[in-house]
Structure 1
Amino acid sequence: MGRTMSKMYATSCENFSADAPKDNPVSDMLADTFGRLHTYLRISLTERCNLRCQYCMPAEGVELTPSPQLLSQNEIVRLANLFVSSGVTKIRLTGGEPQSERI
């Protein structure tokens, strides 16, 4: 997953700044119930991890989302592009240990 996702993400990111309108205000879609506009997106790629860090894996464990319900690489890139076109200026890819499962 690492190399393939990195290549897809890097290729798509090259177009982010070119595709994003320069004077486009942030979309209302990015406003919360208090009217605050959010321009930051965090996408969790996977929950799977072979580590048991206390801050994200309690001693009793957690039930993981079945793989078919996780986003595909293409879906992740499409969502990132959608949010960028709506005003997101920062995307952080997080979640689990990326090498522990092939997505």
Structure 2
Amino acid sequence: MIKREEILMLNLIEDSGNVKRLLRENLSYKEISELISKLVQDELLTYVDKKIILTDKGEKKLNESKHLIKETNKELWIKPENKSRVKKIERNFIYLPNQTELDF
């Protein structure tokens, strides 16, 4: 059984994509290089003129397993950005800005 990461890598190489997608999947650069080595050993990828390309076997495997990389859960399409959220303040709270920061 081929893993989701392997299908992502095959799709990335087919589309000449960026490894940022794999980094968002929590793969490190070391794991990405090991994954490429494994796919070369499995004859799904090959090196041609200092480029990595899909073999016929790799293209067939990618077409069979493309359904594994489609995200069907709409909640995961856009990830929430929590670092900019502000804590909820009380209803009766009065905000007084710092006087030195005010410019008119």
TM-score normalised according to structure 2 size: 0.19
The higher radius of gyration belongs to 2
Higher relative contact order (CA 8 A, sep 6+): 1
Q: Which has the higher helix share?
A: 2
Q: TM-score, normalised by structure 1?
A: 0.19
